Amino acid sequence: MERYRALIADLEREIPGFRVVRKDRSRLHRAIDVALRIVTLGKMRDYLSSYQTTIGKTVYVTSDWDDWHPDRRYVTLRHEAVHLRQFRKLTLPVMALLYVLLPLPLGLAYFRARFEMEAYAESIRAAAEIWGPSYPTATAYRAHVIDQFIGPSYGWMWPFRRAVERWYDGVLATLAAER
């Protein structure tokens, strides 16, 4: 529990008003879920059950969050902490506009991809810290993260496999350099 609890305490100090809320109890997120199913033609079906989402100072989590191993919650919260800082830096309206709409809501979401690359780089670093440096180099994990960018999960935000692979391997190289 230690590391997860410590990160929560750090974030409470760093981001006054920070909180963790169940996503399925939020009317806003139930509405977003319906909208996502429509715009992705049913391809994005697990928004409420499989994705943690940060808006402003709030991290919205799936209903099974408390059952997760604390290490897994820690790694995920490291990713969400990057988004908390992005919202703080850019403000909610600017962040929402850039993340959701620009330049396109689907297929070429440059800013969403930029924000998620920053956050997934933190996921990779945290995963290496908790589960060992070989964890993010494993084919399945690498493929999973790359799929988030090129597949329907985030509306095909950056569907350029080679570019995303280069980004991923660049993050791995920085990890190796730090060791």
Question: Which of 55, 119 has the CB closer to Zn ion?
Answer: 119
Does 171 bind Zn ion (CB under 5 A)? Our answer is: no
Touching Zn ion, residues 87-116 (CB under 5 A): 116
Cα–chain-centroid distance for residue 124?
11
Question: Which of 119, 121 has the CB closer to Zn ion?
Answer: 119
Report the residue closest to Zn ion, judged by CB.
Answer: 119
At its nearest, how many Å lie between Zn ion and the CB of residue 179?
25
**Interacting span for Zn ion (CB under 5 A) from 3-11, 23-31, 95-103, 118-126:** 118-126
Does 81 bind Zn ion (CB under 5 A)? Our answer is: no
Question: Which of 1, 143 has the CB closer to Zn ion?
Answer: 143
Question: Which of 128, 148 has the CB closer to Zn ion?
Answer: 148
CB atoms within 10 A of CB 110: 13
What distance in Å separates the CA atoms of residue 109 and residue 76, rounded to the nearest whole number? 22
Does 119 bind Zn ion (CB under 5 A)? Our answer is: yes
What distance in Å separates the CA atoms of residue 113 and residue 90, rounded to the nearest whole number? 16
Query: Token pair for residue 95?
Result: 């962040």
At its nearest, how many Å lie between Zn ion and the CB of residue 81?
10
**Interacting span for Zn ion (CB under 5 A) from 93-101, 105-113, 117-125, 163-171:** 117-125
Q: Which residue, among 15, 58, 53, has the nearest Cα to 31 in the 3D structure?
A: 53
Q: Which residue, among 58, 57, 1, has the nearest Cα to 26 in the 3D structure?
A: 58
Helix (H) or strand (E) holding 60: strand 58-61
Q: Please state whether beta strands 58-61 and 53-55 pair in parallel, antiparallel, or not at all (unpaired).
A: antiparallel
Q: Is the peptide bond before 103 cis (omega within 30 degrees of 0)?
A: yes
What distance in Å separates the CA atoms of residue 152 and residue 140, rounded to the nearest whole number? 18
Question: Which of 33, 116 has the CB closer to Zn ion?
Answer: 116
At its nearest, how many Å lie between Zn ion and the CB of residue 122?
9
Number of residues that bind Zn ion (CB under 5 A): 2
- Residues in the site for Zn ion, rule: CB under 5 A? 116, 119
